[in-house]
Amino acid sequence: MKHKKIALTGGPNSGKTTALSILKETFGPKVELVREAATMIFSGGFPRQDNSRPHIEAAQQIIFYATREMESLAEESSDAPLIVCDRGTVDAAVYWPGGVEDFFARMGTTLEAELARYDAVLHLSPPSNPAFYQSTHVRTESLQQAFEIDRKILKIWEKHPNRLVVGGTEHFFEKAEVIKNFVEKIIKG
């Protein structure tokens, strides 16, 4: 079965996990969700305290390959017409100490090839009001760092021909309606 695939991306605390829940609740068997590899890896015990280049590179390589494998598994095993990925393979390049070009060279691919893996990109930005930003044991960035990461993610996905950017709002319900409408159009295709 040929699936359509969306990368759900954006800065930390932008509502990606909540959006996935809303999409599953709204569209049920029409969507297959691929969870974020970074959260699984870091919450599974991969150490995050060491910010040395070798440590960061190891983490991002694992995240990149785990993301690819989880997407492939969903494509092979799901009957859903749409696969929604919590982040895409492109996202790991934002965290790479040697820069975007070095990242894709090390992964044996190109930005263009990775962008082409996705039929659409849905970018959610973090909330602009600091009162709505939440840190966790997995999400260690400050709000300012989250905004900087969000800017980098916006930049790296900018060449994708089918991208929707949803800005940070105080009321997630506004985001939810935009997200559901975008996904419904992709499903109906």
User: CATH number, domain at 144?
Assistant: 3.40.50.300
Q: Is the Cα dihedral 128, 129, 130, 135 positive or negative? A: negative
Q: What is the pLDDT of residues 96-135, one digit of tens each?
A: 999 999 999 999 999 999 999 999 999 998 877 655 555 5
Q: What is the pLDDT of residues 140-157, one digit of tens each?
A: 667 788 889 999 999 999
Share of the chain above pLDDT 70, in %: 90
Structural domains counted in the chain: 1
HSE (CB half, 13 Å, CA atoms) of 170?
3
Domain with 23 in it: 4-188
Q: What's the angle, vertex CA 60, arms to CA 58 and CA 66, rounded to 5?
A: 100
